């Protein structure tokens, strides 16, 4: 079991982490415990959680529907209402048992309930373990913009229990691996080289840990995302815009799938701007295509994507600025990008893809 120190809290990784959670809760003497979960974690993870963490056997369970569409104001209001009905006070704690949707939403709800109560993240998906578990970002989607309402709020602690991955469907593995590849590509050539020789359907506890450590390094340098941490946004300007365009449509696209498309499009922009060589561009192209088989961006969505980028959180005074890969294991932030460059990259990406949405 290993412990990673983040911004005022610890991330405990390993198969004894739920017992560590039990000890943590005992020590903290919270006045009441709430567990937020979705229908999947309720079925597959909650029994394991309670077996290993008996102090939670009388916790109040708040169930929400799985999926990005739950990350909204109406579900937040439902959670607040439940907290009030069960007299949650300033010394209560919320345990977010789920993927990024649960921790984003549950963290947001906790951080503004009675001016902030404690919350603990117990990520159950690879994506949440490797990426969302550190960073202190909480948010919901609003007005068609992903994560447009939220704040920085640190969890009291994070417990990563890899056994939860046993119940994870394959496409959710891919979803998490996208962020693992991203953090390697922007910050650690050696790790990227290791990953590109591996198998997509296998991730080791050490690789999860490595991803958390790398992300944590960025986060600690820049807790409020003011600059140094912007490199983590590689693949996300396009990725988030694509997700937002598809929000509420019938096309289901996981965050990791969007980020893979984002990384491919943005790598082409990096190539246009000569931040990477042709050879590096090809390597990124082949590795990501081989591992993830991304799908084409529907033509009618391209225009909407451009419009949303103008309205992105990361856009300052209407000038789109990207974090772009600038070599294997390197990243350059705040690169101004023109709409023409974006369009060209999207077109290239679409031509290179064999499978249609």
Q: Does residue 114 belong to the site contacting a second copy (CB under 8 A)?
A: yes
Choose the binding region for a second copy from 4-12, 291-299, 308-316, 328-336 (rule: CB under 8 A). 308-316
Q: Helix, strand, or coil here: 71? A: coil
What the block records as the tokens of 261 is 């498309």
Q: Does residue 148 belong to the site contacting a second copy (CB under 8 A)?
A: yes
CA-to-CA distance for 352 and 356, rounded, in angstroms? 11
Q: Does residue 115 belong to the site contacting a second copy (CB under 8 A)?
A: yes
Question: Of these, 149, 213, 228, 287, which contacts a second copy (CB under 8 A)?
Answer: 149
Q: Does residue 42 belong to the site contacting a second copy (CB under 8 A)?
A: no
Q: Does residue 7 belong to the site contacting a second copy (CB under 8 A)?
A: no
Q: Does residue 9 belong to the site contacting a second copy (CB under 8 A)?
A: no
Give Cβ neighbours of residue 84 (< 8 Å, ≥ 6 apart).
Answer: none
- Please, what's the largest Cα pairwise distance for the chain? 60
Question: Of these, 10, 66, 217, 311, which contacts a second copy (CB under 8 A)?
Answer: 311
How many chain residues bind a second copy (CB under 8 A)? 37
Question: Of these, 1, 3, 23, 73, which contacts a second copy (CB under 8 A)?
Answer: 73
Comparing CB distances to a second copy, the nearer of 68 and 225 is 225
Comparing CB distances to a second copy, the nearer of 43 and 91 is 91
Comparing CB distances to a second copy, the nearer of 141 and 209 is 141
Residues 162-221 that bind a second copy (CB under 8 A): none
The CA-to-CA distance between both ends of the chain, in Å, stands at 42
CA-to-CA distance for 165 and 167, rounded, in angstroms? 5
Choose the binding region for a second copy from 6-14, 146-154, 214-222, 246-254 (rule: CB under 8 A). 146-154
Residue 15: closest CA among 103, 101, 129, 135 = 129
- What count of other Cβ atoms lies within 10 Å of the Cβ of residue 274? 9
Q: Does residue 89 belong to the site contacting a second copy (CB under 8 A)?
A: yes
Residue 230: closest CA among 145, 150, 135 = 135
CA 114 to chain centre: 26
Q: Does residue 227 belong to the site contacting a second copy (CB under 8 A)?
A: no
**What is the full DSSP assignment across 195-251?**
HHTS-TT---HHHHHHHHHHHHHHHHH-TT-SSGGGGGGTTHHHHHHHHHHHTTSS-
Question: Contact at 8 Å (CB) between 180 and 207?
Answer: yes
Q: Does residue 310 belong to the site contacting a second copy (CB under 8 A)?
A: yes
Comparing CB distances to a second copy, the nearer of 51 and 81 is 81
Comparing CB distances to a second copy, the nearer of 26 and 114 is 114
Q: Does residue 78 belong to the site contacting a second copy (CB under 8 A)?
A: no
Contact residues: a second copy, CB under 8 A: 31, 73, 77, 80-81, 84, 87, 89-91, 108, 111-116, 137, 139, 142-143, 145, 147-152, 225, 310-311, 313-318
């Amino acid at each position: 079991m290993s412990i990673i120190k983040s911004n005022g809290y610890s991330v405990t990784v390993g198969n004894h982490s739920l017992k560590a959670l039990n000890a943590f809760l005992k020590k903290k003497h919270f006045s009441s415990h709430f567990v937020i979960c979705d229908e999947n974690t309720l079925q597959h993870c909650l029994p394991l959680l309670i077996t290993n963490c008996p102090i939670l056997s009388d916790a109040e369970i708040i169930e929400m529907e799985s999926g990005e569409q739950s990350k909204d104001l109406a579900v937040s209001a439902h959670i607040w209402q439940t907290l009030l009905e069960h007299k949650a006070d300033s010394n209560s704690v919320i345990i977010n048992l789920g993927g990024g949707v649960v921790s984003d939403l549950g963290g947001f709800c906790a951080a503004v309930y009675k001016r902030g109560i404690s919350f603990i993240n117990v990520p159950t998906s690879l994506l949440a373990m490797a990426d969302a578990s550190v960073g202190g970002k909480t948010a919901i989607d609003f007005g068609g913009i992903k994560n447009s309402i939220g704040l920085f709020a640190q969890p009291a602690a994070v417990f990563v229990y890899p056994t939860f991955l046993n119940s994870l469907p394959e496409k959710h593995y891919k979803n998490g691996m996208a962020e693992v590849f991203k953090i390697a590509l922007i910050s650690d050539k050696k790790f990227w080289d290791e990953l590109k020789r591996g198998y997509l359907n296998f991730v080791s506890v050490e690789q999860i840990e490595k991803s958390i450590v790398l992300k944590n390094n960025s986060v600690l340098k820049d807790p409020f995302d003011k600059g140094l941490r912007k490199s983590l946004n590689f693949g996300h300007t396009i990725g988030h815009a694509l997700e937002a365009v598809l929000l509420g449509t019938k096309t289901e696209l996981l965050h990791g799938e969007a980020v893979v498309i984002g990384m491919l499009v943005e790598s082409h922009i990096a190539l246009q701007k000569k931040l990477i060589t042709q050879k590096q561009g090809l390597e990124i192209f082949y590795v990501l295509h081989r591992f993830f088989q991304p799908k084409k961006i529907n033509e009618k969505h391209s225009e909407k994507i451009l419009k949303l980028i103008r309205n992105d959180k990361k856009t300052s005074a209407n000038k789109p600025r990207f974090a772009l890969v600038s070599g294997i294991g390197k990243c350059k932030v705040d690169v101004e990008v023109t709409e023409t460059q974006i369009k060209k990259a999207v077109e290239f990406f679409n031509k290179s893809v064999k499978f249609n949405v």
